[in-house]
Structure 1
Amino acid sequence: MNAPITYVATGDSFITSPLNLCGNDKFEKIKDLIYKSEVRFTNLEVTVHDFEGYPSAFSGGTWAIANPNVLKDIKYLGFNLLNIANNHTLDYSHNGLEATEKYLKDFDFVYAGAGSNMAAASDPKYLNCSSGRVGFVAATSTFHESWIAGEQRRDMIGRPGVNGLRHESTHIISKDKMRSLKEIATITDINAMNNLNLKEGFDVGNTSDVFKFGIYKFKEGNNEGLITKPDSRDMERILRSVYEAKRQADEVIVSIHSHEMKGEDKSVPADFLRDFAKECIDHGASSVIGHGPHILRGIEIYKNCPIFYSLGNFIFQTDLVSNLPSDFYEKYGLTHENNTADALDARSKNGTVGLGKNPYVWESVIASWKSVNKKTEEILLYPITLGYDSPRYKRGLPELSDDRSILRRLAKLSEPFGTNIEIEGNVGKIKI
């Protein structure tokens, strides 16, 4: 029997400013908790460089950048395993990704999820611990379509980018509604470009039972609603990486960044994400760590392996970016005379809307567990708060909390997955 491998995981580390760690008691307590485990994971939700890349025409919402010195704080807190595949990976284009990788290597982090081509982005990475070797595969389902890494060919170099998990969305509607939809398409010419692309060979078309309305796919059926499935090409590629890592390590972690939700509830993961997570475990993963929506989602135990659909935020300094490109200012009707604080005020309508007004964004958990022979025995959940009521220049920093309501809410979110979270003192426990 192998020795147990111990894990600790957090959600998004959107760090854009030094944390002032020296002598800070709340950080020391978190550091002590993190260092109790050998495998210490967080999702790095920013690019780290000294403006060494051009701002992309698209961003993940904020052009996320931090001075490379913030990696000292991530290192000090104990993290040794990072996902860099998310909706901010190419906020500063390919040069920003290249620079970020350079600094991550300088600080000797094990990271995965993005790289100079698809092979580099999708390859498993490995963390050697005293109790065993852990394989690591990282991906994101939330990204601009141009950000996915490109495959190398013998006659063409690949393209830098993320290990992307695309998904297929099909809207199911009744026969009568389909008839009306086709009539609307004819009247509005919404499919004119689609039809021309088919004729000229720029599109391969749809299956016979699917009707394309602009960029959306519809199908007749009795159970109306939305069906989402992982893209088979991306799914197969990621599973190959998981299966490779399974044969090269004692255990395998999969990290997935996903904002996509079911319906309009951010706390409920999209169906394709659940399918993806279970397939990863079927192919050898011992845990799947999700993050992305900036709030907690439920926890599912599948074949004695945990699936954390979202661990929420760990560090969230989205309002402390030092500079923003003109695209951000133009979006909110601002000019060159305006500054970063003006832009952030415009986005939040002076602090009255946005993520800053959602208290659940500023509450989360740190998850800790141990695994023996690829089977998890018990999961411990430590609640944290990030300063919801603080000014935006102070909030976003984690602090261990005795607020049991965070655990009760996570327990409620986990019930639909058949997971029972017991609360003992200020700690949530999942016994397997």
Structure 2
Amino acid sequence: MRMIATGDSFIARRIPENDKRAKNIKEWMNGADVRFTNLEITTHHKEGYPSPFSGGTWAMAEPSVLDDLTYYGFNLYNWATNHTMDYLQGGLLATERELDARGLVHAGAGRTLAAAAEPRYIDTVQGRVALIGATSTFHEASLAGDPTPHIKGRPGINPLRYEEVYYVTKSEMETLKQISNNTDIDANEMLNRLEGFSVEGGQDEFLFSGKLFKSADRSYRVRRPVKQDIERLTASIQAARRQADYVIVSLHSHEMEGMDKNKPADFLQDAARACIDAGAHTIFGHGPHVVRGVELYQGRPIFYSLGNFIFQNDSVSYLPSDFYHKYGLRTDANVADGYDIRSDYGRKGLGVNPNVWESVIAKLIWNGDDLQSIELQPINLGFKQARYQKGWPELTDNVEVLQRIKELSEPFGTEIVVADNKAIVVCT
């Protein structure tokens, strides 16, 4: 079984005709049985209402961009991301319609929570493969919901939520309580608890500005996956393991350690390992728009982030009034005005971070349940190009991104050999 895995495909433009970059990548991926990418854009004709919140950019493109992803050969798609609900339920349903019309196998979002969480399958000559998708980065209104006997379900994403607890010293706790008493910062929440609209907390905890604090001998933070979401994920994996030869889990996560995008959050590591324990063969991670390390857990690979495959967030053609208001512009402004202000005229943001524009494509080869090899092929997305030209992937011999992944993987005990302009993950 040969698998290809890429990171985020934030595709907002059509592939230029006779583009050699696309042709070379298509040929490099040719021969794989399954080819995965993360669809990080909604695809529709301005359907649905723009959400009052977004994943950063209200991500919308013409449905024809799906034909370009099909040109590359992708046949497995996650679409549980922080952008899935940029155009609310209407945008989700329209995107689902366009994916289904092309016969594309997609997971992570749907008309109900059960649909968003269920495995989706593809049959190949080398075996049947299941894909399960989830995201930890989303607005709470994006959650899918299941129906009851009297109320229909809610379209949305399959969530991977996490619980967050801040531990502080006794003196720090007293300071928080004093600030809370003086400012009534959590008065509404406290009243909701008294009136039964919120769940009452434990006696040893204190809620401050919506965050849970507990006393300890030092200050630190702990995040853990929500039990309900892990149980739903592992149940899907266990079902898929009995219905397919291989199980892929896709996890979209922007959360990090501190301000370091290169390091996955603690809860994400716990969740990924729990998925492997439940029977998943591999975890394909994405979200922060930079690469992260690779872990071999129980002999199964966890890619904490494969970075970007296509990244064109400065090429979205239409944006709602919320975007212009956010940057102090009138609604009769155009997208070029908005992108200028957001980037401080090209001086800040993702566009000036070279790590955003270097990434990899992973090639995995399996013999039954045994992982035979992992190869990482570097790609370049045009860092030095104009913002309206950036974002198309191109095979490159730049090993800097490979060295970065090698170093980021060392804390997980993963050995990576960089040679001949590619990286090999040592699997034995």
| C-alpha separation in 2, matches of 1:95 and 1:336 | 23
Q: Distance in 2 between matches of 1:196 and 1:122?
A: 35
Structure 1 counterpart of 2:282, from 266, 277, 287 = 287
The answer to whether the 8 A contact 1:113-1:138 is kept is yes
- Give the one of 35, 40, 47 matched to 2:42: 47
Q: Deviations over 1:243-278 (max 9, x none)?
A: 110111111000000000011101100000000000
Q: How does 1:215-254 map to 2 (within 5 A)?
A: 215-254=210-249
Separation in 2 of the partners of 1:179 and 1:246?
Answer: 50
Give the alignment partner of residue 15 of structure 1, picking from 3, 11, 20: 11
Which runs of at least 4 in structure 1 moved beyond 3 Å after TM superposition? none
Contact 1:119 1:152 in 2 (8 A): no
Q: CA deviation at 1:232?
A: 0.9
Deviation at 1:208, TM superposition (A): 2.5
Q: 1:335 aligns with which of 330, 339, 348?
A: 330
Contact 2:35 2:74 in 1 (8 A): yes
1:366-377 correspondence to structure 2 within 5 Å: 366-377=361-372
Q: Distance in 2 between matches of 1:106 and 1:194?
A: 46
Corresponding residue number in structure 1 for 2:141: 146
Q: Secondary structure at the match of 1:320?
A: coil
Q: 2:342 aligns with which of 347, 350, 353?
A: 347
Whether contact under 8 Å (2:325, 2:331) holds in the other structure is no
Give, as a single letter, the amino acid of the residue that structure 1 aligns with 2:6: T
* TM-align CA RMSD: 0.9
Task: Give 1:223 deviation, angstroms.
Answer: 4.3
2:118–2:236 contact (8 Å) kept in structure 1: yes
Match runs of 1:78-227 below 5 Å: 78-227=73-222
1:375 shift after superposition = 2.8
Q: Is the 8 A contact 1:377 1:431 kept in 2?
A: no
Q: Give 1:214 shift.
A: 2.2
CA contact (8 A) 2:397 2:421 kept: yes
For residue 242 of structure 2, give the secondary structure of its aligned residue in structure 1: helix
Deviation at residue 80 of structure 1 after TM alignment: 0.1
Q: Deviations 1:191-219 (Å, cap 9, x if unpaired)?
A: 21111101111011212322111210111
- Decide whether the 8 Å contact of 1:49 with 1:99 is kept in 2: yes
1:393 and 1:191 map into 2 onto residues whose CA distance is 45
- Give per-residue Cα distances to partners, 1:283-322, cap 9 Å, x unaligned: 0100000000000000000011100000000000101111
Instruction: Indicate whether 1:259 and 2:254 are aligned.
Output: yes
Q: Which residue of 2 aligns with 1:422?
A: 417
What residue in structure 2 maps to residue 310 of structure 1? 305
Which runs of no fewer than 5 residues in structure 2 stay unpaired? none
CA distance, structure 2, for counterparts of residue 245 and residue 223 of structure 1: 43
Provide the rounded CA distance (Å) in 2 between the counterparts of 1:72 and 1:78. Answer: 10
Report the alpha carbon displacement of residue 29 of structure 1 after superposing the two structures with TM: 1.3
What whole-Å deviation, never above 9, does each CA across 1:7-66 have from its counterpart, x for those lacking one? Answer: 00000000011011x422221111012222111000000000011111111110000001
Work out the CA distance in 2 between the residues paired with 1:206 and 1:246: 38
1:319-363: CA deviations, max 9, x gaps? Answer: 111110000001111113311100110111111110001000000
CA contact (8 A) 1:194 1:214 kept: no
Partner of 1:382: 377
Quote the Cα distance in structure 1 between the aligned partners of 2:205 and 2:291. 35
Per-residue Cα deviation, 1:350-379 (whole angstroms, up to 9, x for no partner): 111100010000000000011223231210
Letter of the 1:60 partner, please give it: G
Report the counterpart of residue 55 of structure 2 in structure 1.
Answer: 60
Residue 409, structure 1, aligned to residue 404, structure 2: yes
| C-alpha displacement of 1:420 | 1.1
TM-score of the aligned structures, taking structure 1 as reference length: 0.97
Q: Please tell me whether the aligned partners of residues 384 and 398 of structure 1 are also in contact (alpha carbons under 8 angstroms).
A: yes
One-letter code aligned to 2:343: S
Q: Report the count of equivalent residues.
A: 427
User: When the two structures are superposed, what TM-score results if normalisation uses the length of structure 2?
Assistant: 0.98
Q: Tell me, what secondary structure is at the counterpart of 1:19?
A: coil
CA deviation map 1:111-156 (0-9, x unaligned): 0000111011111111111010111100000000110001111121
CA contact (8 A) 1:286 1:375 kept: no
